[in-house]
Amino acid sequence: MRILEPVRDVAPSPLASCQIGVDVGGTFTDLVLIDGCGAVRCVKVPSTPGEPALSTLQGIDELIGPAGARQFQSIHHTHSNTLALNTLIERTGANIGMLVTQGFRDLMEIQRLSIPDPMRYSSRRPQAVVPRRLVREVRERLNADGSIETPLDASQLLEAAAEIVAAGAQGIVICFLHSYRSPVHERRAREIIGEKFPDLPVDISSEVWPQAREFERGMLATINSYVRPRIERYVTVLAQGLLSRSISSAPRGARSNGGRELLSSMGQKPAVALFSGPAAGVAGAASVALDAGWADADLMTLDIGGTSADIGVIRRGKPILSSEEHIADFPILFPTVAVSAIGAGGGSIIWADPTGSVKVGPRSVGADPGPACYGRSDALVPALTDAFLVVGYLSADRKLGDKLVMSLERSLQAMSRLGDRVGVPAEGIADGAIQIAIAMMAAEATSTLSRRGVDAPEFRMVAYGGAGPLLGALVAEEVFIDTVLIPPLPGALSAMGAARSDIHGDFLRPIYQEVEIIDPTQFASQLDSISRDARDWLGEEVEGLPVTGMNITYSLDMRYEGQGFDVAVDIDRETLERFDRSVLLKRFHDAHQAEFGYASESARVWIKELRAHAVGYLAKTVHAHKGAEAAQPCAPRARTIRLRGAAVHASVYSRENLEIGSRLEGPAIIEQMDTTTLIPDGWICECHQSGALVLHRAG
Amino acid sequence: MNDKTNAISVEIFSNLFRAIVDEMAWRVRRAAHTTFIRETQDFGTALITPEGEQFAVPNNTGGISLIGIPIKPLIDAITDWRPGDVAVTNDPYSSDGMVMHLNDIFMLRPIFVDGKIICFAWAFLHCSDVGGSVPGSIDSENKEILQEGLRLPPLKLYSSGTVNESVKAILQANCRGPDLMWGDLAAVVASLHMAETRVLRLVERYGAGAIKSAMYSVLDRSEKLARLALSTVPSGKYRFTEYLEDDFSTDTPVRFCLTLSVAPDGHCTLDYTGSDPEVASAVNLPTGGQRHHPMLSVALMNYAITKSADIDVNAGIIRCIELVLPEQSVVNAAYPAACGARVISVMRLHDLTLGALSAVIPGNVPAAGGSQLAITSLSFHAADGARRVVSANAVVGGSGAGCGLDGVSGTDFPAAALKNVPVEVLETEAPVRVHRFGLRADSEGPGKLRGGFGIEYVFEILQDGVTVVSRGKDRHKFAAWGVAGGGAASCAYAYVAARDGRRKSTGKKALWFADQGDIITVAGGGGGGVGLPHEREPGQVSSDVLDGLISVGRARDVYGVVFSPDGSLDVTETELSRKYMSGTRSSDQFDWGAGRDEWERRWADAYDAVHLRAIKLPQRSRRDFQVRAFLALRQQHPEGLSRAAAERYLDELQR
């Protein structure tokens, strides 16, 4: 276990209450505990995929130690996990059936018609989560305005439901056309099925997320139904374990929007947590930047793990959310922290194409056998981690994590084998592969910024994950970023982000009308209903948490008639209540002008959706670190490393021996248990009092 | 980086270049105003060598149809390039077939280093409307390009950074929706400028020499990989014939002929000799006789990309794909042939090449696709009285089976980037109710690997006076063929019925003036199968039966898979039935489908005789002669006739 001590050990008492963040990954489960005055403990335990809650419980035991839960007045805990995502990717969820409007049995088969990679004859749509044999059509139809065209045929509905239950469905998803405008048929259908099959879980698309686009909405409802049993199992096993440890607080889950929510309410729609791990990481990056005094910062986040480099964007202190993300090739309409990934991480394979050109990824050696240096396979497939060892960024003397010893010899052998084929020495391959990985990440970063449409005068970077601190500064150079922050615990930032997350909820009401013909009374009732939902939800969520403030903000998605896309316009509640059309229109024209450089004041304007975002802010214990006891850092060791194609002499420090406020000049290497930070020449590293390392480009 | 060996630097620069074109593409997409650009992504960006080759192309956004197109004609057309210039053109006939129809607007900006052009930044976008006879500018029945809108020969839209107001005024005066169009163009111009600053930043960091050599290395690498992939096709000459079943103005087919020659080093020649003269409708391909052109090389490009998992897609791929294009033919049309609706020809050329490849490597490429590209749109008076046009789905068809996989249902590779319009969005925007958008059971080409299922789209018009346009229909008579014993698929169909079910129209009519209650059906065919159907895994057949996509009767009759009355697979009966089936069908032949079989039996020789006479005539009278002579032949001999009989008849006719 690692413990970072806070500077101030004054009131509030460290034992008053604590926040635990859990990140259940495929191989390891990270846990972070922040006590009442900001001291942080961190553990890493092997995951137990068969029963994922077990590794969480083991980690909690290690965190709170023999003194047990009694030492804290309360323990809050937030869980981010890949359960939902893996269930979806591996197609290991529940057998579910689906009821759709007559004429649309192929909704889940056809999807949006296109295929992922049209130039490849091997490309196919992702396999449907609900097979066609478990989909039935139902006689019913709503018009586009939500009025009834064909009434729901109750007996035919029951027949269809009975058929798919007989065929083995353990749950039913209902997605009727235009249910986002009026849930009347979906709700009635659920009632009817409930009477006949009282124990059968039934999900209706209008409740999950009432937005137009039948495939996307139906997909969300389907994912919920499909992954729910796995999530429920986690919650059940966790609850039993916590009870026996006298931890009585309700578990919360991290959401893909970077916030937290009670797992009990998340169980209704587990699809909101599909992307919770990466989202918590980006939220964690925002929080460590805040610790370092970077309020409202514009940041790029670079998380380099075993198989990929994930890039996120934080604008004015807040992670950028998107409603157009794809997860496992499926569209996700929920607002999600936008992260782009490229297949280059520590385990990415270095190989050569038939022309002798060296490539990195996207295939990975995986945790087993791992890179050649682990010595677990005679195949000697070189990975990026081997390259780090060969160029001297990593040292074979140090253990990786607790147990593994790396073999430089094996890395060199693997690199030479490849090198012989393309006529480059082993060191050249290693250095070249690292430069290729940097170029790949820089390209993805550039593409991400333009894709997100972010235009800030200056970006800084937060680099984390196993290899983020190694390559952060080098990637930053390629994308013209001059400042890089390395968090105190770069390997556990998702757990940290979960522990420190605020409460974030998103709500949506369909309007889908031209501004001039919207009935103000109807609009007012939609506004009432969405604010009531947001308020009620927030009220439940803050229960028992040290909340310092709450806020609900509103926005309208608007567009010119016939336009192919919406513009989100933030509007305060009072303005919405007054519903002065000229004010709303002016706000839209201004927003359109600002984003696209023109406004068509004579054109008709539609309001597509009314959105609300509810936030509960948690008390922030500003994490602080007092650094090493020693007045002087131990005299650094030194070793020769290859940097940008040349051999240079780098000083080597231990992170635990660095004093707050000390400045190190590159080229230098800072080693700590779970990661290594590289300070290239031309860069200066400052040990910030928050415990972070801040790298600046000199000059 | 200068000391880097090529083994390392190619991949580094490939990524750095990609960052620039990706950024260009996202900028265009985010800033663009028209639905066409934002939703269907019919636009492209690239970096171009001074010789006109696209060396960097985005890999996650933008269209794919023009990847690799040679830009040399536009580079050469401007004789006085200066920094800050932006050249523009949309005219096939003054750009040697670089542009392929007037809706595509190409723009090019030179990037100078030390007074010399190091490379160009390029972009194109499909403009929703450039004037002409119909909204949207494309009408398959147009006969001359002059009906298809404004032609802009290569000229400078910006000179040294200043907009050419005259050109802008002419452009805006000649299209429907001038503000939207200019908004899109402005987004492109901004992205070209951005590309210049990014390239100059790379030059500053790595030096002009390194950048210049990397441009060519990246192209060379893709060329080598493409050659390696194509050299897996046994060398030799392979012939194939494919048809558009009619030419959209008469019911005479359009014939495409191909001789594919593959050399041991992967060099391929696509010789289109024997293809029909240019036709009097908008399906001509104005290729300018280019030696390399992506639109006539789609299947070979896709094959190379499929075989070479990690290839950079750029113009290097088509360096080894050489074209031979007969002059004034449908694949090399001359001014003033119309070409707006050329995409349907591109789809048939895709099948044509797949056919030639299937002759030698059956199953390693897809069988024929059931694809048409029936782009459907509705034009109506909205509540405010304004005329509005709403895009209402493209109806394609299933792809052929191949590469070890069953075909894709509902769409085919040349059109597979297109998304559908959600019913909920469509019904909110237009007076229409969609009854069905779904797969057609039993429509697949059967096989050991089956083709994709076709698709049926049924919608009802909810007010009077709605104009329904659904052009680009094909495969209504000539189905997608099957390979290596695999079967042909079902055909496409289309009809209009009144609410009471009475049919008001059938067939391929592109334009329909609909009244309230009219129910319109547009269906796309299935894709062809590969391998003998009775060798398909019974479990796979049974899975399709369970899914309701293949009927019990078809499983028994076509696949030889028999089910017991309780619905379970009857193993004994299945074995018996399959034993009986084996030997009834050869595993080395194409299945053309009934329509093409019958047509070829009756008319193929006569058609060829007419063709050979037609191509000897002057340009403007060729197709006219072909259509008239063939029509006369068919009237005289409705049951078909031999070549000799046809020659005698034609002798008489020509006298």
**Number of folded domains in chain A?**
3
pTM, two decimals, is 0.94
Whether residues B466 and B383 share a domain: the answer is yes
Would an 8 Å CB–CB cutoff place B40 in contact with chain A?
A: no
Whether residue A75 is found in the same domain as residue A126: no
Mutate to test the interface with A, among B1, B4, B6, B8 (most CBs of A within 10 A): B8
B20, B416, B439 member nearest A114 (Cβ): B416
**What does the pLDDT read at residue A441?**
96
In a domain, B604, yes or no: yes
Q: For residue A420, tell me if it sits in a domain.
A: no
- Compute the nearest-CA separation of A481 from chain B (Å): 14
The CATH number assigned to the domain holding A553 equals: 3.30.1490
Amino acid A630: pLDDT: 47
In angstroms, rounded to a whole number, what is the distance separating the alpha carbons of residues A567 and A569? 6
Partners of A440 on chain B (C-beta within 8 Å) are: 15
A441 secondary structure, DSSP code = H
Q: Indicate whether A285 belongs to any domain.
A: no
User: Quick one: B102 and B215 in the same domain?
Assistant: yes
Q: Where are the beta strands (DSSP E) in A143-287?
A: 148-150, 171-175, 202-204, 252-254, 260-262
Whether residue A9 is found in the same domain as residue A109? no
Task: Say if residues B512 and B496 touch (Cβ distance below 8 Å).
Answer: yes
Least confident piece of the model among A38-42, A476-480, B393-397: A38-42
Nearest-angstrom CA–CA distance, A107 and A103: 9
Asked whether residue A409 carries a pLDDT value surpassing 80, the answer given is: yes
Neighbours of A223 (CB within 10 A): 28
Are residues B494 and B605 located together in one domain of the fold?
no
**Over the stretch B116-152, which tens digit does the pLDDT of each residue have?**
999 999 999 988 889 998 888 888 889 999 999 999 9
Examine the pLDDT at A633 and tell me if it is beyond 60.
Answer: no
Q: In CATH, what number is assigned to the domain containing residue A129?
A: 3.40.50
Q: Which of A658, A638, A640 is nearest to A648 (CA)?
A: A640
Percent of chain B with pLDDT over 90: 79
Q: Residue B552: inside a domain, yes or no? A: no
Same domain, A120 and A59: no
* pLDDT on residue B258: 98
Specify whether A159 is located in the same domain as A211: yes
Residue of B9, B11, B26, B313 to mutate when probing chain A, most A C-beta within 10 A:
B11
Name the pLDDT band for B3 (thresholds 50, 70, 90): very low
Cβ-based contacts of A428 with chain B (< 8 Å): 5, 8
Residue A39, in any domain of the structure = yes
B515 with B368, same domain?
A: yes
Whether B301 maps to a domain, the answer reads no
CA atoms within 13 A on the CB side of B382: 13
Q: Is the pLDDT of residue B434 over 50?
A: yes
Those residues with Cβ within 8 angstroms of residue B50's Cβ, 6 or more apart along the chain or in another chain:
B75, B117, B118, B119, B120
Q: Which of A180, A195, A230 is the last residue of a domain?
A: A230
Looking at the fold, whether B10 and B81 belong to one and the same domain comes out as yes
A473: in domain = no
Last residue of a domain, one of B222, B251, B275: B222
**Is the minimum CB–CB distance between B548 and chain A shorter than 8 Å?**
yes
- The answer on pLDDT for A502 being more than 60 is yes
- State residue B2's pLDDT score: 39
- pLDDT, residue A6, reads 46
Residue A107 lies in a domain: yes
Same domain, A556 and A522: yes
Give the chain B residue nearest A436 (alpha carbons). Answer: B12
What letter represents residue A526's amino acid? Q
Interface of B with A in 583-602 (CB under 8 A): none
Residue-level pLDDT at A149: 98
Range in A36-40, A680-684, B263-267 the model is least confident about: A36-40
B404 and B515 assigned to the same domain: yes
- Which of B38, B424, B548 is nearest residue A213 as measured by Cβ atoms? B424
Region of poorest pLDDT, from A404-408, B263-267, B352-356: A404-408
Report the range of poorest mean pLDDT among A233-247, A370-384, B497-511: B497-511
**What residues of chain B, 139 to 158, have a C-beta less than 8 Å from chain A?**
none
pLDDT for A91-121, tens place per residue?
999 999 999 999 999 999 999 999 999 999 9
How far from A405 is each of A163, A347, B535, CA to CA, in Å? 58, 16, 53
> Do A522 and A547 share a domain, yes or no?
yes
| Residues A98, A224 within the same domain | yes
* Position B649 in a domain: yes
Supply the pLDDT for residue A601.
83
Query: Structurally, how many domains does chain B consist of?
Result: 3
Judge whether B447 lies within some domain: yes
* Same-domain pairing of A559 and A580: yes
Residue-wise pLDDT for B41-50, tens only, equals: 788 999 999 9
Residues A513 and A591 in one domain: yes
A58, A127: one domain: no
Query: Is the Cβ pair A447, B409 closer than 8 Å?
Result: no
The answer to whether residues A179 and A127 belong to one domain is: yes
pLDDT of the residue at A623: 57
In this structure, is residue A413 part of a structural domain? no
Give the distance from residue B364's alpha carbon to the nearest chain A alpha carbon, in angstroms: 9
Domain assignment present for B149? yes
Q: Is the pLDDT of residue B578 over 60?
A: yes
Nearest CA in chain B to A131: B547
B38 Cβ under 8 Å from any chain A Cβ:
yes
B-chain CB neighbours of A133 within 8 Å are 546-548
Mean pLDDT of chain B: 93
Indicate the residue among A60, A81, A102 that finishes a domain.
A81
Tell me B177's DSSP state: S
CATH number of the CATH domain containing A59: 3.30.420.40
Q: For residue A4, what pLDDT is reported?
A: 55
Give SS3 for B155: strand
pLDDT > 60? residue A138 = yes
Phi, psi of A638 (to 5 degrees): -145, 150
Q: What is the pLDDT of residue A603?
A: 82
Reported as a single tens digit per residue, the pLDDT across A269-303 is 999 999 999 999 999 999 999 999 998 999 999 99
Which of A177, A198, A230 terminates a domain? The answer is A230
For residue B437, the chain A residues in CB contact (below 8 A) are 103-104, 106, 110
Nearest 5 degrees, angle CA A276-CA A277-CA A283? 80
Are both B35 and B179 inside the same structural domain? yes
Round to whole Å and give the CA distance between A642 and A391. Answer: 5
Taking the CA atoms of residue B534, residue B535, residue B538 and residue B541 in that order, the dihedral angle to the nearest 10 degrees is -70
| Domain membership flag for residue B340 | no
Whether A348 maps to a domain, the answer reads no
Please provide the distance, in angstroms rounded to a whole number, between the alpha carbons at the two ends of chain B. 74
Pair B518, B598 in one domain: no
Domain identity same for B507 and B599 = no
* Confidence tier at A405 by pLDDT (50, 70, 90): confident
pLDDT at B62 (0 to 100) = 66
The domain of B173 spans: 6-222
Boundary of a domain, candidates B574, B591, B608: B591
Asked if residue A13 is part of any domain, the answer here is yes
Percent share of chain A, pLDDT over 90: 74
pLDDT band at B551 (very low <50, low <70, confident <90, very high): very high
Among A386, A427, A434, A394, residue whose Cα is nearest residue A410: A386
Q: Are residues B614 and B513 in the same domain?
A: no
Q: Same domain, yes or no, for A146 and A189?
A: yes
Report how far residue B315's alpha carbon sits from residue B364's, in angstroms, rounded to the nearest whole number.
Answer: 24
| B297 belongs to a structural domain | no
- The CATH number covering residue B125 comes to 3.30.450
For range B537-541, the mean pLDDT: 97
pLDDT for position A631: 44
- The residue segments making up the domain with residue A27 are 2-81
Question: What confidence tier does B218 reach under pLDDT thresholds 50, 70, 90?
Answer: very high
Last residue of a domain, one of B196, B222, B248: B222
Specify whether B75 is located in the same domain as B195.
Answer: yes
Choice between B68 and B543, residue whose per-residue pLDDT is larger? B543
Average pLDDT, integer, range A241-257: 93
- Interface contact flag, B16 A360, Cβ < 8 Å: no
Q: Cβ atoms within 10 A of the Cβ of A381, count?
A: 20
Instruction: At A202, list the tokens.
Output: 């039934």
Q: Are residues B608 and B473 in the same domain?
A: no
A574 by Cβ neighbours in 10 Å (0-12 / 13-18 / 19+) ranks as exposed
